[in-house]
Amino acid sequence: MGSPIAPLLAKAEAGERLSPAEGLALLESHDLTALGTAADRVARRLHPEPFRTYNIDRNINYTNVCSAVCDFCAFYRTPKSPEGYVLDTDVILQKIQETVDVGGDQILMQGGMNPKLPIEWYEDLLRTLKTHFPQVNIHGFSPPEIHALAKVAKLSTRQVLTRLKAAGLGSLPGGGAEILVDRVRAEITRGKVMSDDWLDVCRTWHELGGKGSATMMFGHVETLAERIEHLERLRQLQDETGGFTAFICWTFQPEHTDLSHLPKLGAFEYLKTQAVARLYLDNIPNIQSSWVTQGLKIGQIALLYGANDMGSLMIEENVVAAAGTVHHLTLAQIRGAITEAGYIPRQRNVFYELIDEPAGLAPMQA
Which residue ranges make up the site for ligand SF4 (CB under 6 A)?
66, 68-70, 73, 75-76, 112-113, 144, 176, 192
In the complex, minimum distance from the CB of residue 167 to ligand SF4, in angstroms, rounded to a whole number: 22
In the complex, minimum distance from the CB of residue 111 to ligand SF4, in angstroms, rounded to a whole number: 7
Sign of CA dihedral 238, 244, 249, 255: negative
Nearest partner of 215 among 180, 261, 263, judged by Cα: 180
Q: Assign 3-class secondary structure to 184-225.
A: HHHHHEECCCCHHHHHHHHHHHHHCCCCEEEEEEECCCCCHH
In the complex, minimum distance from the CB of residue 2 to ligand SF4, in angstroms, rounded to a whole number: 43
In the complex, minimum distance from the CB of residue 157 to ligand SF4, in angstroms, rounded to a whole number: 16
In the complex with ligand SF4, which residue's Cβ is closer, 188 or 277? 188
In the complex, minimum distance from the CB of residue 178 to ligand SF4, in angstroms, rounded to a whole number: 8
In the complex, minimum distance from the CB of residue 325 to ligand SF4, in angstroms, rounded to a whole number: 15
The single-letter code of the amino acid at 62 is Y
In the complex, minimum distance from the CB of residue 6 to ligand SF4, in angstroms, rounded to a whole number: 39
The single-letter code of the amino acid at 203 is R
As a whole number of angstroms, the distance between CA 306 and CA 292 comes to 17
In the complex with ligand SF4, which residue's Cβ is closer, 115 or 295? 115
In the complex with ligand SF4, which residue's Cβ is closer, 51 or 76? 76
Burial 198-215 (b: 16+ CB within 10 A, else e): bbbbbbbbbeeebbbbbb
As a whole number of angstroms, the distance between CA 22 and CA 136 comes to 42
Q: Are 232 and 20 in contact (CB under 8 A)?
A: yes
In the complex with ligand SF4, which residue's Cβ is closer, 192 or 346? 192
Q: Where are the alpha helices (DSSP H) in 281-350?
A: 291-301, 318-322, 331-340
Which residues have a Cβ under 8 Å from the Cβ of 260 and sit 6 or more positions away? 254
In the complex with ligand SF4, which residue's Cβ is closer, 66 or 334? 66
In the complex with ligand SF4, which residue's Cβ is closer, 42 or 248? 248
In the complex, minimum distance from the CB of residue 253 to ligand SF4, in angstroms, rounded to a whole number: 12
Sign of CA dihedral 78, 82, 85, 88: positive
In the complex with ligand SF4, which residue's Cβ is closer, 46 or 66? 66
Give the DSSP per-residue string, 233-256. HHHHHHHHH--EEEEEEEE---TT
As a whole number of angstroms, the distance between CA 153 and CA 121 comes to 11
In the complex with ligand SF4, which residue's Cβ is closer, 104 or 175? 175
